[in-house]
Structure 1
């Protein structure tokens, strides 16, 4: 049997390439090899770019209105974010990749750590290529890169190399399986690109003559402790190939938040109230989906912090419910009462949100003997609404206070995708973007 690594155990980081853009390309094959960007909530900023768009100098986070002329000049295809689609593909990628290992950690919507402990006698390169090809075939060509190394920090670097040199690593897989490879990678990597080193710390490193990740390893431990504390010592060990970070288990959600920045500042009280009620109802839907109830509901509103001349105001508070609830009717009612208490006339509001917290399983609800329990009457109705919306499309059946408008402020969605959602082709994701 072939032993690929002198290290006893290895990890892998699977990362979806230009994820949002790649998801767009699964819907439209003509987008291949074309400059494509995806915009944030309210179509404000660029949050995903194809390699062709990057080559045009379009930076991440670029305000869309400032690059409008460049988009037109170079025929850049611009899309509103299809959050439901990205959530769906994220879950499918995780589902496929996780079947290849005993342990994994979902790090972000487009990143997944895989634990290759016990795989020492496997041909890991071939194994990772199999994972990559499986995802590509099952998910309409969705591209991923995989970096393998003895620590999670080195996995980040290995994945970076696989993406940085796609021609050299045409399979999109790089195995950092020797001390020589680690040393070469660290000598080439800017210290600011090391996982865990932010902008301020990077500036401090540069001031002390630390320009590359390899330079950091040459510093004495006493200096590392002084500048970075125990976190720095762990980082150094990770860079040396000594694992310090194990895979994290997914922890149960402690709260659910639905919040949005409005496309335009809002002064109409009824319009904000409708959004608050809608957000509360979405929280209730998510609670029922995970078979939970909440004990606490919170609401907040705030003005535009970048327009101080219009007046600044923000407020919010929480209510402890008399009985744990997942009823859309109950949560909308209490959200509205909080909104009435915190709303002030005369301001231009930019953002609002609702949060529910302190969860209990719905089959373990303890009812207050001195309070009427209305959930028992509402739940059959709620389940019927959920079932109908699952069959005919989101918000087909809704409470009277909801307008039915989308909460993301997305203008650049194709009629085909709107129909796609209405027909419920995509299953509801386990989380939303906020």
Structure 2
């Protein structure tokens, strides 16, 4: 048996760990620049607030029903996720971290365990120690685990212990007959529409189709999905794959026309890329920069451009990457446009202890290593961006205007250690 542990309304639940008065209150968490709703409490869902709702369109509803809206606290969510994963994986021998709030657990070999009781114990420990509610769905395959977890969340009163085990043919058939085709793991919006055109509205309907038809519509992945839905495992637990690139990009809260202001953002993004490289003990050989206007405001003029530079020596120095990012920006920037988004990407990684130095270029990185280590150590101790390069303004890049006073105090007192876990 596999299990899928999923944190309930994760971002909202993290907010409630800071402020217990938010319990049983309608709460939403907003995306970058406080633009859209990315997490909702059950109370907010009951008010009809959809996922992805533009915050400005629901401003009156928020005021009418006293909905608490918060800017996303990415540092907190990342940290809370690490704590949940660390605690949950201690109960098993094998696991797969699927996303920031989802974890697959492998219960093969737990023959003499009462899995319902065991999962209730996992759930209780996470709730008691971390104050975060989770749901756990168990089934013979990973795809059916997704279905089982969906059932737990959909029927909270029936499964008040937050655990559901789908371990018989009867349970699987009943679940698939009730599951909309669009809710099957791996079926996107377009594929779901195509399925409904062929009279497939529920997951169970899909099992009646011949394999040749499935191959034609969905390829070999579709055949594997069918087997998974039948309870025949096709997907094993995966280990996180190595990163191939790091991207830091943002949509600006307002369109920018000032060259110096955009250049400062570009340099800041490059510095953040460098910090992430050093955190994983690697260097990059390529840096890319892009800028673009607002595609929804074509009357203001459209423009987007970007290109890459191969560095003379692999680097993780904030100074070096900021310098090259700025040189690319100077080459692609054009006056007279209203810019809405920009970003920096670093790629072609090598371990920092395996750098091959160009004999014909000065290795500036070696001079910067002590400085970078000192900056990282001080920022880890006193808080993000407390020590920064002169080209950075020190303003946050997320445009978070509605951070709670509790969180500001939280960050100021440096309660959060630096998160160092990568999610895929």
Which TM bucket (shorter chain)? Answer: over 0.9
**Alignment partner of 1:71: what SS?**
helix
Alpha-carbon distance in 1 for matches of 2:246, 2:218: 33
Aligned equivalent of 2:165, options 158, 175, 184: 175
Q: Which runs of 5+ in 2 are unaligned?
A: none
User: Offset at 1:105?
Assistant: 1.0
Alpha-carbon distance in 1 for matches of 2:317, 2:83: 30
Equivalent position of 1:248 in the other structure: 238
Equivalent position of 1:227 in the other structure: 217
Check conservation: 2:82, 2:421, Cα contact below 8 A: no
Q: After TM superposition, what 4+ stretches of structure 1 lie above 4 angstroms from structure 2?
A: none
Alpha-carbon distance in 2 for matches of 1:361, 1:110: 29
Equivalent position of 2:201 in the other structure: 211
The reply to whether residue 25 of structure 1 matches residue 16 of structure 2 is: yes
What TM-score comes out, normalization by structure 2 length? 0.98
User: Offset at 1:127?
Assistant: 1.1
Cα deviation digits, residues 243-298 of structure 1 (max 9, x gap): 01111111111111111100000000000000010111111111111111111111
User: Offset at 1:111?
Assistant: 0.7
Cα deviation digits, residues 357-404 of structure 1 (max 9, x gap): 111111111111110011111110111111111111111111111000
Q: Which runs of 5+ in 1 are unaligned?
A: 1-9
Alpha-carbon distance in 2 for matches of 1:274, 1:301: 13
Check conservation: 2:19, 2:406, Cα contact below 8 A: no
The reply to whether residue 96 of structure 1 matches residue 87 of structure 2 is: yes
The reply to whether residue 388 of structure 1 matches residue 378 of structure 2 is: yes
Cα deviation digits, residues 66-93 of structure 1 (max 9, x gap): 0000001111111111111101111111
**Alignment partner of 1:364: what SS?**
coil
What TM-score comes out, normalization by structure 1 length? 0.96
User: Offset at 1:431?
Assistant: 6.1
Aligned equivalent of 1:58, options 49, 52, 61: 49
The reply to whether residue 345 of structure 1 matches residue 366 of structure 2 is: no
More moved, 411-420 vs 232-241: 411-420
User: Offset at 1:350?
Assistant: 0.5
Aligned equivalent of 2:111, options 90, 99, 120: 120
User: Offset at 1:198?
Assistant: 1.5
User: Offset at 1:207?
Assistant: 2.0
Alpha-carbon distance in 2 for matches of 1:251, 1:205: 32
User: Offset at 1:119?
Assistant: 1.5
Question: How many residues are aligned here?
Answer: 423
Check conservation: 1:394, 1:422, Cα contact below 8 A: no
Check conservation: 1:83, 1:432, Cα contact below 8 A: no
The reply to whether residue 34 of structure 1 matches residue 42 of structure 2 is: no
User: Offset at 1:228?
Assistant: 2.0
**Alignment partner of 2:353: what SS?**
helix
Alpha-carbon distance in 1 for matches of 2:278, 2:214: 48
User: Closer, same or farther in 2 for the Cα pair 1:95/1:431, shift >3 Å?
Assistant: closer
Check conservation: 1:299, 1:316, Cα contact below 8 A: yes
The reply to whether residue 397 of structure 1 matches residue 387 of structure 2 is: yes
Aligned equivalent of 2:39, options 43, 48, 51: 48
The reply to whether residue 142 of structure 1 matches residue 129 of structure 2 is: no
**Alignment partner of 2:299: what SS?**
helix
Alpha-carbon distance in 1 for matches of 2:231, 2:303: 50
Equivalent position of 1:3 in the other structure: none
User: Offset at 1:190?
Assistant: 1.1
User: Offset at 1:229?
Assistant: 2.1
